[in-house]
Structure 1
């Protein structure tokens, strides 16, 4: 194996395997060699990946969802998002999820990037898309999915974040990206819906 400038930080898998296989999450436990030659255990979650959409309404408000999240034990405010199906293109997933969860379709899409929200224990990557030119339609929620659509201005979301009412990591990253784009710092390249 070729040496890299990061070799002094890299952990190498020695052995391990699956601890739990669920509907879409897989929990693993591996035995690894540390850079200093000692060994350790690593427990982590394999996730198929997801997409989050920042839907921009023509009046500057953002289309959001309020949804009960069982692990948190409360209703959370968040941007629309969903899991990638096996082999699914992230843009196709974003378009599908926006329609399913909100009933809206978008005329233009921009890819911002990917975020890794829990790097210490999961390999989940969430692709961030922006959507504008929204047209309303009928929601197509999955069985067992219950959510409420709401709208907020960026200033309202800032106040909710400062007040501790907006704590979802992906949504906070989406809000940050929106603000940086609006300031001209982080460019977005828009294209018509595929």
Structure 2
């Protein structure tokens, strides 16, 4: 057993919502003392990096109420109960951008805020794109945009993009030189 583990003594559900659940856990610390942990439970999500045949990235602009502003992100969405991440990636890509992909490749998974949430995002790259129609949720409004990797990097640098999953995805693309290898 890891000497850093915390043992849960009691878990109390505070809120059950459509997107998240909240709980407070009382834990025994490694030194034997107790503490409380506020935890956000999330079903997980996918994020997709759509790459056009020209090597450009498809992004979306969307108002985010928690921030009270519009931000630029890669397409992403919450896993439905029992839904496989690959199926969610296909669904979210089509819903948000209207694009279909002939190739969806799983890249990696990462936690968004492990200090208080269990949300994990499964990151995919989509290529072989063909345009279709969007099928957005009735409360979802966004704009689709296409940028080069260099433009996306500049947008991170000047904080037009400051969404962590999107910045992470752009850095991943640069690291792997992904967009230059599309043909």
1:162 aligns with 2:122: no
Aligned to 1:151, which of 136, 146, 151? 146
Shift of 1:180: 1.7
Alpha-carbon distance in structure 2 between the residues aligned to 1:102 and 1:14: 45
Question: Which position in structure 2 is the counterpart of 1:137?
Answer: 132
What's the TM-score, normalizing by structure 1? Answer: 0.90
Superposition CA RMSD, Å: 0.9
Runs (4+) of structure 1 exceeding 3 A deviation are: none
1:16 Cα offset (Å): 2.0
Q: Measure, in 2, the Cα distance between the counterparts of 1:46 and 1:111.
A: 23
Equivalent residues in 2 for 1:37-52 (5 A)? 37-52=32-47
Please name the residue that 1:188 is paired with.
none
Indicate yes or no: 2:19 matched with 1:28: no
Corresponding residue for residue 85 of structure 1 = 80
Scaled by the length of structure 2, what TM-score is found?
A: 0.95
The SS at the match of 2:123 is strand
Shift of 1:49: 0.4
Which stretches in structure 1 are left out of the alignment for 5+ residues? Answer: 184-194
How far is 1:182 from its partner?
Answer: 1.4
Give ranges in structure 2 of 5+ residues lacking alignment: 179-183
In the alignment, what sits opposite 2:181?
none
